[in-house]
A and B are shown apart, each in its own frame.
Chain A
Amino acid sequence: GAGVSQSPSNKVTEKGKDVELRCDPISGHTALYWYRQRLGQGLEFLIYFQGNSAPDKSGLPSDRFSAERTGESVSTLTIQRTQQEDSAVYLCASSPPSIYEQYFGPGTRLTVT
C-alpha cells in the first residue's frame, strides 16, 4: 500500500519568507510525528499528533514554527520568517494505534538562502 508521502521534496526559499511543508500519513495511522534532521546529524523531535490534537509540541524550536493536522490525515508544518538555521531535512512519520514502529516519509529538504 501507499506509504507516507511528503511534499515538496525540495524547497529553496529566501530568508524571511514563510514555507509550508505537507505530510500525508498512511491511512488509518492515528499518530503523526514531525522531525528535523540537520546535515550529518540525528533526528530532532518537533511535534506529535494523536488524531488532530497535538499533546506534545515541546520540540518546536521557536514560535515561528507551527503545525496543524486535519482529522487523522494530512498535516502541515509551517515555518514563518525562515532563517538560514532552518535549513534541514524535515521528516514526517506516522504509526498505527498501539504500535511502536514509525513509518517515515522521504522528507522535504529545505534550503534557506
Chain B
Amino acid sequence: SQQGEEDPQALSIQEGENATMNCSYKTSINNLQWYRQNSGRGLVHLILIRSNEREKHSGRLRVTLDTSKKSSSLLITASRAADTASYFCATDSSYKLIFGSGTRLLVRP
C-alpha cells in the first residue's frame, strides 16, 4: 500500500505562477523527500526534509512538513515551462522509500 498520497493528481498553471502540491502519509517517518520525474523515466531528487524540520528552501522550491498532520507541501515559485513534470513525495523508515502516486504538473508557456 502507498504511504504518501499527493494532491492534486494533476495541476495546470500559467508560466510565472506558483505551484503547490501536497502530500499526506500514514505512519511515522525519519524524513520526507520530493522527487521529480520527466517523461515517465528516471527520477531526480529535489529536496529532503527531516522529521525535526518544519520548512526548507532550495532555489525556487519550498517544502514544509507538519508531522502532527502527517503532511508536507512542495511550493514551486515563479514556475517555468521546464518545470512540467510529475512530482512525487517519498517517505522512509530505515532504508526503504515509499512513493505516492504523484502530481502531474503542466506549466503553460
Interface of A is mostly: strand
A1-41 CB mask vs B (1 if < 8 Å, else 0) is: 00010000000000000000000000000010101010101
CA distance A63 to B95 in the complex (A): 23
Shortest B39–chain A CB gap in Å is 10
CA distance A69 to B80 in the complex (A): 40
* Known contacts A100-B31, A100-B33, A100-B48: A56-B96 contact under CB 8 Å: yes
In chain B, residues 73-107, which have Cβ atoms closer than 8 Å to a Cβ of chain A? 88, 92, 95-102
Chain A interfacial residues counted at CB < 8 A: 24
Which of B41, B45, B97, B101 makes the CB contact (< 8 A) with A41?
B101
* Known contacts A41-B101, A42-B101, A56-B96: A101-B41 contact under CB 8 Å: no
CA distance A35 to B98 in the complex (A): 10
* Known contacts A42-B102, A45-B97, A100-B33: A106-B45 contact under CB 8 Å: no
Shortest A58–chain B CB gap in Å is 9
Chain A residues with Cβ under 8 A from B99's Cβ? 35, 42-43
How many A-B Cβ pairs are below 8 Å?
A: 53
* Known contacts A37-B40, A89-B40, A100-B31: A48-B45 contact under CB 8 Å: no
Q: Are B43 and A104 in contact (CB under 8 A)?
A: yes
Q: Are B48 and A107 in contact (CB under 8 A)?
A: no
Residue B14 interfacial (CB < 8 Å) = no
- B88 nearest in chain A by CB position: A42
- B97 nearest in chain A by CB position: A102
Residue A103 interfacial (CB < 8 Å) = yes
Q: Are B96 and A104 in contact (CB under 8 A)?
A: no
* Known contacts A89-B41, A91-B42, A106-B41: A48-B33 contact under CB 8 Å: no
Which 5 pairs, one residue from A and one from B, show the smallest C-beta to C-beta distance? A43-B99, A42-B101, A104-B42, A42-B99, A104-B43
